[in-house]
Amino acid sequence: MDDNPQMQQQELVGLIYMDHAATTPTHPEVWREMSLWFHEYFGNPATMYALGDICEVAVEKARQQVASLIGAEADEIYFTCGGTESDNWAVKGTAYAREAKGKHIISTPIEHHAVFDTCKFMEKQGFEVTYLPVDSYGMVAPDDVAKAIRDDTILVTIMHANNEVGTIQPIADIANVTRESEIPLHTDAVQTVGKIPVDVNDFQCDMLSISAHKFSGPKGVGALYVRKGTRIEPYMHGGGQERKRRAGTLNVPGIVGMGKGAEIAASHLAEERVRVAALRDKLRDGVLDQVPDLRVNGHPTERLPGNLHLCVEGIEGEAMILCLSMNLICVSSGSACTTGSLDPSHVLLAMGMPAEMAHSSLRLTLGSESIEAHIPYFLDVFPPIVERLRKMSPTYKAKG
Ligand code: PLP
């Protein structure tokens, strides 16, 4: 065992994974269930012989499992290769299906890049996008949606919960507005499905994006919920799979794994949500108690249970990530997908945060891997890291 007492404690608790918003480990029951579909039942569900039929039955079971998690009908679930494809399809597919009516889309400046960059792309294709303002918590006001709607509006796309600061939007209230104007509503629920209750009947949304790897399913598989009667152009053209709406040979092992992940998430959701939120609150209180000049971002109550997003005055997020990584603690500064970029987060800037403060952000997201012992370990390791980095910081001035 290492002589360093902190490392000894770490060896006892193992890797401290605090980045569940980036991805989650595949649940052992999920990969056990998946493995059969790689080698034993490796068929293509579109074929006519028995092996294909067995695969088709497995896909339909998974479709039902995913549908049950969000209160949908099985035939409203379309499998995709993940959240990014689902988001691209919802925006582009709706825009192209409805462009005869108009070319105006409403979204927000805090969307994940899978929606945000798709909206930017649609602007280059001649569509106009209104990006609604958000308040300093990253919250959208349903009244602002109502004010932005025009005769030529063809889509509103607003995420359910933000992947950086964890703020949860009032989707059902927004749907009241869009329904009145008969405009389809898409919500990117990649960060919420499997973590908090998501029910398409409560939300009254028309499309909803899901990604399996955010709830202990495999990477590279997701789904788009499309309410019956919603007009959407196919995004992938080819073999006519998924009722001619999403072509491509189905990823049977991935889909089976997504279904199993959905079933497991549904069975644990209520307790897991409370357990994770309690750990997050403990971590937040401990950090606030031990580290001066910190700011907690995102909404104080309407937020994801595992999300703690901080600005640590005077220190770059990347420096903290590297120092924490040396202690085998995994965290992010912003979205995993934009790590490596030197630009401050578009989400934090949209919330009105100055660029310098946005650079000092740290995102801790707790989940299935989090255990009680991680909290004291983090609270031992983090304050000295902050103190050391602040001593070297040209910008940090201690207050008081
Ligand atoms: N939307 C949100 C809110 C996300 O957090 C992510 C991934 O981090 C995505 C979409 C993209 O999902 P995927 O990784 O399955 O492509």
pLDDT tens figures, 249-296: 999 999 999 999 999 999 999 999 999 999 999 999 999 999 999 999
The one catalytic residue among 55, 311, 323, 337: 337
Atom of ligand 1 nearest to the CA of 222: 15
Q: How far is the CA of 210 from the centre of ligand 1 (A)?
A: 8
Residue with the smallest CA separation from ligand 1 atom 14 is 83
Contact 70, 200 (CB under 8 A): yes
Q: Give the residues surrounding ligand 1 with Cβ less than 6 Å away.
A: 82-84, 87, 112, 114, 159, 163, 188, 190-191, 211, 222, 336-337
Q: How far is the CA of 87 from the centre of ligand 1 (A)?
A: 9
pLDDT band, residue 9 (cuts 50/70/90): low
pLDDT band, residue 13 (cuts 50/70/90): low
Q: How far is the CA of 108 from the centre of ligand 1 (A)?
A: 16
Mean pLDDT, to the nearest integer, of 205-209? 98
3-class state of residue 162 by DSSP: coil
Residue with the smallest CA separation from ligand 1 atom 13 is 83
Mutate to test the pocket of ligand 1, among 163, 303, 307, 347 (most ligand atoms within 8 A of CB): 163
3-class state of residue 245 by DSSP: coil
Mutate to test the pocket of ligand 1, among 214, 215, 235 (most ligand atoms within 8 A of CB): 214
DSSP per residue, 170-231: -HHHHHHHHHHTT--EEEE-TTTTTTS---HHHHT-SEEEEEGGGGTS-TT-EEEEE-TT--
When the pLDDT of each residue in the chain is averaged and rounded to a whole number, the result is: 94
The reported pLDDT for the residue numbered 1 is 45
Q: 225: which 2 tokens? A: 């919920």
Mean pLDDT, to the nearest integer, of 337-346? 68
* CA 398 from centre of chain: 35
pLDDT band, residue 70 (cuts 50/70/90): very high
Rounded CA separation 20/194 (Å):
12
Pick 4 or 344 by higher pLDDT.
344
Answer whether residue 155 shows pLDDT above 80. yes
Atom of ligand 1 nearest to the CA of 162: 3
- Spatial CA neighbour of 64 closest among 56, 74, 72, 49: 74
pLDDT band, residue 333 (cuts 50/70/90): confident
Q: 145: which 2 tokens? A: 């949606």
3-class state of residue 329 by DSSP: strand
DSSP per residue, 94-129: HHHHHTTT--EEEE-TTS-HHHHHHHHHHHHTT-EE
Angle at the Cα of 252 from the Cα atoms of 246 and 253, rounded to 5 degrees: 135
The reported pLDDT for the residue numbered 398 is 79
pLDDT tens figures, 347-399: 999 999 999 999 999 999 999 999 999 999 999 999 999 999 999 998 888 77
- Spatial CA neighbour of 70 closest among 186, 198, 258: 198
Answer whether residue 8 shows pLDDT above 70. no
* Percent of the chain topping pLDDT 90: 92
Residue with the smallest CA separation from ligand 1 atom 8 is 22
- 337 counts as catalytic: yes
The reported pLDDT for the residue numbered 339 is 47
DSSP state of 168: B
The reported pLDDT for the residue numbered 337 is 44
DSSP state of 325: H
Q: 263: which 2 tokens? A: 């079933």
* CA 231 from centre of chain: 25
Q: How far is the CA of 336 from the centre of ligand 1 (A)?
A: 9
Q: How far is the CA of 222 from the centre of ligand 1 (A)?
A: 10
Answer whether residue 335 shows pLDDT above 90. no
Contact 327, 10 (CB under 8 A): yes
Determine which of 10-24, 69-83, 99-113 has the lowest per-residue pLDDT on average.
Answer: 10-24
Rounded CA separation 188/191 (Å):
8
Rounded CA separation 189/200 (Å):
11
- Are β-strands 185-188 and 153-157 bridged in parallel, bridged antiparallel, or unpaired? parallel
The reported pLDDT for the residue numbered 251 is 98
* CA 338 from centre of chain: 13
